[in-house]
Structure 1
Amino acid sequence: MTDAPYPNPAAASLRRLLARPGLVMMPCCFDALSARLIEQAGFELTFLSGFAASASRIGAPDLGLMSFGEVRDQARNVMEAINIPMMVDGDTGYGNPMNVLRTVEGFARAGCAGVMIEDQVAPKRCGHTQGKAVVDREEAFDRIRAAVEARGRADIVLKARTDARRTHGLAEAIERAQTFTELGAEMVFIEEPLDIDEMRTICKEVPGAMVANMLEGGQTPILPPAQLEELGFKVAAYPLAALSAAMQAMVGTLAALKAGKDHTGGLMPFAELRDRIGFNAYYETEARYSRRDSTFRRT
């Protein structure tokens, strides 16, 4: 008899979301502030995007440059700022199956609700950019086997991803995804279906909670949530919506400032900015303790 895995309340929360009827919308974050804004907007789940986190933390493209330690540190910072569950991009597991074991268990013990492990050749690349390749089937399956073993030590929701659609065709991608679920993956993500028919086929042929990647400007059609649910998807990920919007706003504001023009039109009011960051909540808490301190001093 084996011991129960290290408990993870965030994983339990994510499983409750997946068990609920309807599509779960998952805007992706890149730091603590973006995650807090996602929660404030009323979303119940977020994902620390590898693309967005790499851009935010090290100012570099998502080409496998960030280490496991850097991603875990970023994840911890984000989770301290929010109360909703957060998944994390585990890339290829950062090495062989032994590395996958450490990666998945490490994210679980850090409190991440879920982790994504993919079948790309390391160093991985963004799924909608050039030059990506996938490992052979057995190496891909070994990564998921190792991830499942790690989940037995520390609980976490496992999301398995395949990028085989571009390099090997849809049938190979589906077969890999089917095996991922047989091995124990709870969520499945086939990257880069090219049209609605392929998206429908994926949901029909692969069991488990299917993830749609709604990358604006990518290869997969951007569909409304109701249509994604009708096709059979359980989760809709929006990997770059927050990052792209933030970058667009910053570039425009800085250009206006550089040109000596009025740059204030697109700014958030200072009072709202302070409130969203948490100044008002801080002051309210501070006031409670200040009252207690004065009562203590009087007595």
Structure 2
Amino acid sequence: MNAAKTLRTLLAQDKCHVMPCCFDALSAKLIAQEGYDLTFMSGFAASASRIGAPDLGLMSYGEVVDQARNIANAIDIPLIGDGDTGYGNAMNVRRTVTGFAQAGCASVMIEDQLAPKRCGHTPGKAVVARQEAYDRIKAAVDARDALREDGGDILILARTDARHEHGLSEAIERAAVFAELGADILFVEAPKSTTEMQEICSNLPGPKMANIVEGGETPDLPNAALHDIGYSIAAYPLSLMAAAMQAMVTSLRAMRADQRPGLMDFGELRSRIGFDDYYAASQAYASSKRD
């Protein structure tokens, strides 16, 4: 079963899938090892990890696709890639969708922000006019359909950030048109209350994704509540990065004081990275002893 088909199967379940977001191949591998069904390459976290810079449109298309390819190659669960604004006009969007599919992503997110985009829970967001937003999603859907004709596949996750600048009604209206155009998953970013989240899910068809940023604008609800509201996916874009950064800073400060921080056991560390699997597989190619 390919990644896109697996993701469709997951979305058909009566369940809100908890989706910790990754930023590199190792973080994605840990997510898969802990039994999660899917993951998302957070643009915020990937930008911080790969180039040490904020998610303000600084990473190029090539860098993002390369990061997604490395992640997809390291795991056997569906990966959703962050395609940002599609990196240009409608034809660039088509290339972006095709590139993410070729990299091994089960889905790609395309959004309606004005380039350069910004993190959905930071100041200064602006969105393009409706028609340009619709053209982006139409181009993404066209690219998906062309891939299917050639034996490939990918799902389109359509995102709108219109809530921030134009209000919830505009955001819902845009997302509804995205669905009419053929988007597979809808994502209305940054609702500010449980009531707004309920309004989103009751007025939009198909699978919806909630984006839970600890300390962000959207309420951090229990998974059961998100399911009852109508969400199929609950994304946690910064949880792992925040945990990793906190652990690294704590360890560095402890080492400065000539203390030894609490660490993962070396044997478990090697095993999770893949040393044990490598050595087991390599036994099939061990050279026989010479006379």
TM-score range, shorter chain: over 0.9
Report the equivalent of 1:294.
288
Q: Deviations over 1:39-65 (max 9, x none)?
A: 011001001110000000000000000
Aligned equivalent of 1:48, options 31, 41, 61: 41
Q: What pairs with 1:271-290 in structure 2 (closer than 5 Å)?
A: 271-290=267-286
Report the equivalent of 2:245.
247
Q: What pairs with 1:25-40 in structure 2 (closer than 5 Å)?
A: 25-40=18-33
State the one-letter code of the partner of 1:42. Answer: G
Supply the distance in 1 between the matched residues of 2:136 and 2:237 (Cα, whole angstroms).
23
TM-score, normalisation: structure 2: 0.96
Q: What pairs with 1:175-186 in structure 2 (closer than 5 Å)?
A: 175-186=173-184
State the one-letter code of the partner of 1:53. Answer: A
Where 1:44 maps in the other structure, the secondary structure is coil
Q: What pairs with 1:133-282 in structure 2 (closer than 5 Å)?
A: 133-154=126-147, 155-260=153-258, 262-265=259-262, 267-282=263-278
Q: CA RMSD in A?
A: 1.2
Q: What pairs with 1:54-133 in structure 2 (closer than 5 Å)?
A: 54-133=47-126
* 8 Å Cα contact 2:197-2:229 kept in structure 1: yes
**Cα offset, 1:91, TM superposition:** 0.2
Supply the distance in 2 between the matched residues of 1:231 and 1:273 (Cα, whole angstroms).
39
Q: Deviations over 1:115-135 (max 9, x none)?
A: 000000000000000111000
Give the unaligned 5+ runs of structure 1. 1-7
Supply the distance in 2 between the matched residues of 1:187 and 1:68 (Cα, whole angstroms).
22
Report the equivalent of 1:4.
none
Give the unaligned 5+ runs of structure 2. 148-152
Aligned residues: 286
Q: Deviations over 1:225-282 (max 9, x none)?
A: 111000100101010111110000001100111122x2322x1111111111111111
State yes or no: 1:24 paired with 2:12.
Answer: no
Supply the distance in 2 between the matched residues of 1:284 and 1:111 (Cα, whole angstroms).
26
Structure 1 runs, 4 residues or longer, greater than 3 Å off: none
State the one-letter code of the partner of 1:11. Answer: A
Where 2:125 maps in the other structure, the secondary structure is coil
State the one-letter code of the partner of 2:30. Answer: L
Q: Deviations over 1:70-118 (max 9, x none)?
A: 0110111111111111010000000110110110111112221000000
Supply the distance in 2 between the matched residues of 1:110 and 1:270 (Cα, whole angstroms).
32
Q: Deviations over 1:178-210 (max 9, x none)?
A: 000000001000001001010011000011100
Supply the distance in 2 between the matched residues of 1:134 and 1:259 (Cα, whole angstroms).
48
Supply the distance in 1 between the matched residues of 2:238 and 2:102 (Cα, whole angstroms).
27
Q: Percent same amino acid among aligned pairs?
A: 63
